[in-house]
Amino acid sequence: MPLIATIIGEGGSGGAIALAAGDAVLMLEHAIYSVISPEGGAAILWKDAGQAAAAAEALRLTAEDLKRLRLIDAIVAEPLGGAHRDQAAAIAAVGDAVAGALAPLLALDGATLRARRREKFLDMGREAPA
């Protein structure tokens, strides 16, 4: 069965690992996705949660950063002003993105899906091609 993960707000902590295991990982353009919050990261690294902005920069938790790093597969555009401004349009955009990501996966058998998921997960963190 194909797995499509979609980050629509804040995806983080242990759940980030579960989301990463999808055949496709989609993310709203203004969402964030990280294994720790910027405040938590700042508290650990600098012993000062006030350094959250520096931690957020270091974590590379934006959709653009994560796409460039190949940790997500697609960015879903949000309505002007963000998804909360036009919920119907945001829901439609996510639905279209999920359908688009799901369509090519439906032709694959379970063994192929699992093998591709495994390789994708193991490839995370490697340098992105130039």
| Residue 51: per-residue pLDDT | 94
Domain-located, residue 130? no
Task: With respect to residue 48, please indicate whether it lies within any of the assigned structural domains.
Answer: yes
Mean pLDDT of the chain: 90
Q: For residue 115, what are the contacts with CB-CB under 8 A and spacing of at least 6? A: none
- Range of 66's domain? 4-122
Residue 127 lies in a domain: no
Determine, yes or no, domain membership for 129. Answer: no
pLDDT per residue over 77-120, tens digit each?
A: 999 999 999 999 999 999 999 999 999 999 999 999 999 999 98
Q: Is 128 inside a domain boundary?
A: no
Total of domains in the chain: 1
Q: Tokens 């495994």 sit at which residue?
A: 118
pLDDT value of position 127: 65
Strand partners, 34: 12
CATH code, domain with 12: 3.90.226.10
